[in-house]
Structure 1
Amino acid sequence: MPDGTPYDGLLGGSQDGGLEGAAGRGAPSAPDPDRLIAGLSDDIGWLEQRLGERADPQALEQLMRGAEHALREIVDRGGDARFDLQDRASLEAVVHSDGSRPVLFVEDDFFDVLAPAAAQWEASLSRIQAEVRTVCQAVGRVNDPGAPLGYQGTAWAVEDGVVVTNYHVLEVISTHPARTDGAFTGTLVPGVEVDFGAEIGGGPPNRSFRIRRVLGVGRAGAPEHAHPTVGGVNFDGLDLAVLELDRVPGQQFPAPVEVARGDDPATRGGLASRGRRVYLVGFPGSSGSTTPDVFAELFAGVKGVKRLTPGVLTEGRGEVADDARRWIISHDASTLGGSSGSLVVDLEAEGRTVLGLHFAGVPNRVNWAYGLEGATPQLAAVIPGW
């Protein structure tokens, strides 16, 4: 099959593959539509059993028909395959269920090990169960009572009672937001909070904390450095906000995760390198996401729940085009069209060390995060005691 479709590396590769496979790996083999459709059906069947509800029949029929059509298109036309939005949504579901880049629902701070899509990952993740649990506990959903879906993105604990998210998430939970040289002016809308539960089936209770105030934000990028093809993206700026949470009597803040630092003499800012295995933990994006969350369309009970997705860094710091500041990295973990503010973490070689803050991407092509080793001075300037 010729190279060229955005799904080549996923549908033809193994769990070590990716959207941009490692050099020397060669072209992937053609996908087996029957096997992939069967895997998707098994994944949906498991969710039906797990949730105790049937998938929406109309959405299910549309998904399966679209998946079969799109897979046949890849087999027949290879790099010349053309997909409409429904084809892309269907292929996204196939990729999630075939085991190469699954979307693993977080449950009790771990993940559903019995899900068919988790089979390839159960052994490796079970060996680092403590690290997985620490990271999953530290990731929360940014709840906004006035939002159409009730939430706006992801935040994660970087210090006791302090979380990191994207500036563009802060913008939509504020009125009259503006920033100048790291200072934020604007007012948080009433009732916004970070919920560190929000798992499939409800999750652990009593993990919600109101957002008290904004500690600091990243600087805006110069207009002349706006990304040439992707609207709203500017690699010259830092799409980051640091928020302080209110304490709740009888509740403990989640333990913060360790963040890779550029001034660490042992690593010299070199952890976020091409080919490193990473995991993204967060929540689906907003209702305006460009890639639909197909499982949420099938099951209302999985909207806005915490998920863990594996991947690799496809580009390290200094390798991303148009990144003059050398602080952008790219990854191929499934982001469900958004997941703004999610952390990108190394759970294995360095032990639950956060390497990046996910902020944007091009659907089915590339996902971008800030390599936090490159943003160490900006974080240190606004995080107390960092």
Structure 2
Amino acid sequence: MSVGSTYERLLGESQSGGLEHAGGGGAPSPPDPDRLMTQLSDEVGRLEEHLGERADPEARERLMRGAEYALREVVDHGADAQLGMRDVARLEAVVHSDGTRPVLFVEDDFFDVTAPAVATWAAALSRIKAELRTVCRAAGRVNDPSSLLGYQGTAWAIDEGVVVTNYHVLEAISTHPSRTDGQFGGELKPGVAVDFGAEVGGGPPNRVFRISRVLGVGRAGAPERAHPTVPRVNFDGLDLAVLQLDRVSGRPFPTPVEVARGDDEATRGALASRGRKIYIVGFPGSAGSTSPDVFAELFAGVKGVKRLTPGVLTEGRGEVDEDERRWIISHDASTLGGSSGSLVVDLEAEGRKVLGLHFAGVPDRVNWAHGLEGATPELDAAIQGG
């Protein structure tokens, strides 16, 4: 599917039944640029009021001008629309504001209920309020004092004082990293930690834990299986690392989340199926991105804060091309600056089981995660120390 047709579908969803249509209820209506531009402008104004911070006027002008151009390009040319990375970034801002695939600030371990863009998803998210709070508390920012932004991605609690992230995030917070047979070679940088607060406005204090050691890592993929067009992506490998955190006296670790397992007799390892509604909790993870966080250009105070983004699994286990191990799934939730290491959580049923570990994406809204039902033995081995 082309970039143009992807955004033509997404931008038409809010006019054609929104969340209900996301499961496949007929063709979306053509996007309405005037309505979408009004919603984008309103969202910027709402954020100014909510954050108590004025948007950078030059960045706002660039956003509005670029978004209108990109919208007209999609409306006029559909699948043949000519869209560069900056155009896609502007379309991402539109999608975030119109309610199709919103990006919601996490505040007090819950989503920003004041955001108009949440309307389409509010009922589904509110039904799992307790579970969603547990997931939000369990997601932390991987702090790296030596990096340009001060952080590298996301990690999340899978056991008492144990977190999961991507191997490529571990590489970024290490010196001389390497891996062999599930064992990590290298040294952690000084001061690296996981901050389970890091919400807009500062968030809850006293939720930072230093990373003490690496328990285990996923296997490297065979070099000949490297993705032909996306650098550093290899579906034959497992982009996973399990890290131990240091205890802090009087400071409890967050409650671990529950992970869907491939050996679960009740689900038979088939929860991560095409069309299933999901949500992701994580942080923008890099200065560059396939889909830059335009709102972070407008508001300095929203860089590196916890976000929740709902969406749909576009491919289940065994459906992704070149995934011979059946441990890749894809989704269309907004992932901002990569959101490396974010957890992909089931929004249906109990709304609490982690289905995947987000690790990569490309500009036409193909986002990949490791389907953890397909990697149960490897994840168990990493938690146990390789």
Residues 27 and 127 of structure 1: is their aligned pair in 2 closer, same or farther, counting only changes over 3 Å? closer
Partner of 1:166: 166
Q: In the TM superposition, what whole-angstrom CA distance separates every residue of 1:284-322 from its partner, at most 9, and x where no partner exists?
A: 120122321100000000000000000011100000000
Partner of 1:280: 280
- Within a 5 Å distance, the mapping from 1:102-141 to structure 2 comes to 102-141=102-141
Partner of 2:32: 32
**Is 1:49 matched with 2:52?**
no
What is the rounded CA distance, in whole Å, between the counterparts of 2:299 and 2:258 in structure 1? 34
Partner of 2:243: 243
Partner of 1:340: 340
- Among 16, 29, 39, which residue is 2:19 paired with? 16
Contact conserved, 2:40 with 2:94, CA < 8 A, in 1?
A: yes
SS in 2 for 1:322: coil
Contact conserved, 2:361 with 2:368, CA < 8 A, in 1?
A: yes
Partner of 1:302: 302
SS in 2 for 1:271: coil
**Is 1:204 matched with 2:204?**
yes
What is the rounded CA distance, in whole Å, between the counterparts of 1:282 and 1:275 in structure 2? 21
SS in 1 for 2:96: helix
What is the rounded CA distance, in whole Å, between the counterparts of 2:20 and 2:375 in structure 1? 28
SS in 1 for 2:236: coil
What is the rounded CA distance, in whole Å, between the counterparts of 1:3 and 1:308 in structure 2? 23
Partner of 1:317: 317
Residues 141 and 3 of structure 1: is their aligned pair in 2 closer, same or farther, counting only changes over 3 Å? closer
Partner of 1:74: 74
One-letter amino acid of the structure 1 residue matched with residue 32 of structure 2: D
- Within a 5 Å distance, the mapping from 1:197-276 to structure 2 comes to 197-276=197-276
What is the rounded CA distance, in whole Å, between the counterparts of 1:45 and 1:66 in structure 2? 18
Contact conserved, 1:10 with 1:17, CA < 8 A, in 2?
A: no
Contact conserved, 2:3 with 2:365, CA < 8 A, in 1?
A: no
Q: In the TM superposition, what whole-angstrom CA distance separates every residue of 1:267-290 from its partner, at most 9, and x where no partner exists?
A: 111111111110011001201223
Partner of 1:360: 360
Instruction: Percent identity, please.
Output: 76
Question: Which one is further off, 270-279 or 281-290?
Answer: 281-290
Question: Which one is further off, 88-97 or 116-125?
Answer: 116-125
SS in 2 for 1:59: helix
Per the TM alignment, residue 26 of structure 1 is displaced from its structure 2 partner at its CA by: 4.1
Contact conserved, 1:337 with 1:363, CA < 8 A, in 2?
A: no
Q: In the TM superposition, what whole-angstrom CA distance separates every residue of 1:57-99 from its partner, at most 9, and x where no partner exists?
A: 0000000001111111122222221112322111110000000
In the alignment, structure 2 segments of 5+ residues that lack a partner are none
Contact conserved, 1:139 with 1:196, CA < 8 A, in 2?
A: yes
SS in 2 for 1:7: helix
SS in 2 for 1:130: helix
One-letter amino acid of the structure 1 residue matched with residue 358 of structure 2: H
Q: In the TM superposition, what whole-angstrom CA distance separates every residue of 1:95-146 from its partner, at most 9, and x where no partner exists?
A: 0000010001000000110112122222322221101101000000000001
In the alignment, structure 1 segments of 5+ residues that lack a partner are none
What is the rounded CA distance, in whole Å, between the counterparts of 2:189 and 2:3 in structure 1? 47
What is the rounded CA distance, in whole Å, between the counterparts of 1:28 and 1:274 in structure 2? 19
What is the rounded CA distance, in whole Å, between the counterparts of 1:114 and 1:88 in structure 2? 26
What is the rounded CA distance, in whole Å, between the counterparts of 1:126 and 1:350 in structure 2? 12
Residues 169 and 244 of structure 1: is their aligned pair in 2 closer, same or farther, counting only changes over 3 Å? same
Aligned residues between the structures: 382
Contact conserved, 2:19 with 2:121, CA < 8 A, in 1?
A: no
Per the TM alignment, residue 4 of structure 1 is displaced from its structure 2 partner at its CA by: 4.8
What is the rounded CA distance, in whole Å, between the counterparts of 2:230 and 2:186 in structure 1? 26
One-letter amino acid of the structure 1 residue matched with residue 54 of structure 2: R
Contact conserved, 2:167 with 2:241, CA < 8 A, in 1?
A: yes
Residues 148 and 385 of structure 1: is their aligned pair in 2 closer, same or farther, counting only changes over 3 Å? closer
One-letter amino acid of the structure 2 residue matched with residue 207 of structure 1: R
Structure-1-length-normalised TM-score: 0.96
SS in 2 for 1:43: helix
Partner of 1:146: 146
- Within a 5 Å distance, the mapping from 1:161-200 to structure 2 comes to 161-200=161-200
More helix by share: 2
SS in 2 for 1:140: strand
Q: In the TM superposition, what whole-angstrom CA distance separates every residue of 1:257-276 from its partner, at most 9, and x where no partner exists?
A: 00001111111111111111
One-letter amino acid of the structure 2 residue matched with residue 65 of structure 1: R
What is the rounded CA distance, in whole Å, between the counterparts of 1:356 and 1:123 in structure 2? 23
Partner of 1:91: 91
One-letter amino acid of the structure 2 residue matched with residue 122 of structure 1: A
Per the TM alignment, residue 385 of structure 1 is displaced from its structure 2 partner at its CA by: 11
What is the rounded CA distance, in whole Å, between the counterparts of 2:20 and 2:284 in structure 1? 23
SS in 2 for 1:211: strand
Question: Which one is further off, 184-193 or 358-367?
Answer: 358-367
Per the TM alignment, residue 239 of structure 1 is displaced from its structure 2 partner at its CA by: 0.3
Structure-2-length-normalised TM-score: 0.96
One-letter amino acid of the structure 2 residue matched with residue 334 of structure 1: S
One-letter amino acid of the structure 2 residue matched with residue 16 of structure 1: L
Residues 17 and 363 of structure 1: is their aligned pair in 2 closer, same or farther, counting only changes over 3 Å? farther
What is the rounded CA distance, in whole Å, between the counterparts of 1:110 and 1:347 in structure 2? 14
One-letter amino acid of the structure 2 residue matched with residue 382 of structure 1: A
Q: In the TM superposition, what whole-angstrom CA distance separates every residue of 1:189-246 from its partner, at most 9, and x where no partner exists?
A: 0000000000011100000000000000001000111112212110000000000000
